[in-house]
């Protein structure tokens, strides 16, 4: 299990870093998808099958929509012509390092709870914590997003 976690972590971080080194939007899109899928498989390995499956489904659909918009709207056909993926390299490095420092400080300095017990079903507990009384709102939002996805694909398909 430790080897699987380590390998998936390396894949997730490695493909995430490669997003900023490749010179095309299409390659960056699929590398980002690979990173998200590695994280999803990691969640499934930890016993959070629902969350892992949702991440795979959401990210796959989102990346495909992004690819469709790249083909439709960019001057760069299919996003395969060389281009730089990073603008303001030093500013982005500075922001990334500051954010990393804040997150690391938060992980080390914030006291984590030591009392309480684990929920029987962590997926249900997470859903209740995230959505609580807003479940109807989230379900409605989900239907609106599905309609948007279907509409986007319908617009992208050529009519012959």
- Residue-by-residue DSSP string for 57-91: HHHHHHHHHHHHHHHHH-SSGGG-S---S-SSHHH
Round to whole Å and give the CA distance between 43 and 104.
21
pLDDT for the residue 36 = 94
Cβ contacts of residue 16 below 8 Å, gap of 6+? 31, 32, 35
Taking the model in full, what pTM does it have? 0.59
pLDDT for the residue 116 = 76
Tokens of 156: 């992208």
Mark the ranges of the chain whose per-residue pLDDT is less than 50: none
41, 44, 58, 123, 137 from 52: Cα distances, Å:
6, 5, 10, 11, 22
């Amino acid at each position: 299990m430790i080897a699987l976690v380590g390998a998936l972590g390396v894949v997730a971080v490695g493909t995430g870093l490669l997003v900023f080194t490749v010179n095309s939007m299409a390659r960056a899109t699929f590398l980002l998808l690979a990173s998200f899928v590695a994280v999803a498989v990691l969640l499934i390995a930890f016993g959070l099958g629902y969350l892992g499956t949702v991440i795979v489904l959401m990210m796959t659909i989102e990346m495909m929509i992004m690819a469709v918009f790249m083909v439709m709207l960019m001057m760069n056909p299919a996003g395969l012509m060389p281009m730089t993926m990073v603008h303001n390299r030093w500013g982005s490095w500075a922001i990334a390092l500051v954010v990393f420092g804040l997150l690391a400080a938060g992980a080390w300095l914030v006291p984590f709870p030591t009392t309480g017990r684990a929920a029987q079903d962590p997926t249900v507990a997470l859903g209740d914590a995230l959505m609580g009384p807003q479940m109807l709102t989230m379900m409605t939002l989900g239907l609106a997003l599905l309609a948007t996805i279907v509409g986007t694909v319908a617009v992208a398909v050529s009519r012959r």
